[in-house]
Amino acid sequence: MPQFDSVTFLPQIFWLTLVFFVFYMIVIRNFLPGLTRIVKIRKKRLEAIQQTGSAFTDESNSTNSNYENLLINCADSSRDAVSGTLQDGSIWLKGSLDTLSHKEYPVLNQEFVELNGKIRSKYYILREVIKIGS
């Protein structure tokens, strides 16, 4: 068998070692520095992206909390305004009812009925005149 031939065994090992050593030196001197640069650049890019992402997340969270606080403040002020208006209206209505005496209600009611009757009678007369005219 030629693999176990002792005459060619030593030169084969020599050339194998020499070719492997030359290939190893070429890889270490030419390819490995480029690969390490690429790995370092990718690592820096990933770190920058993570920092930007965390900054964006922080800004998004603060914006959301500010928006929620604004909504809460607006709801509180709206509720205060509505309750204040309701209280003012109740006070005004109570004051208005207190200023009107119960004696004035029949007089006002009688005036309303009289005015309503006058308006209806005028309307009735106009309607009859229109019927006769047509």
DSSP 8-state secondary structure symbol assigned to residue 5: -
Q: State the pTM of this model.
A: 0.38
Q: What pLDDT digit, counting tens, does each position of 49-66 carry?
A: 888 877 788 888 899 999
Residue 55: the pLDDT is 79
- HSE-up of 101 (CA within 13 Å, CB side)? 3
Q: What pLDDT digit, counting tens, does each position of 101-126 carry?
A: 666 777 778 888 889 888 888 888 88
Domains of the chain, by residue range, sit at 6-84, 100-134
Query: In whole angstroms, what is the distance from residue 72 CA to residue 64 CA?
Result: 12
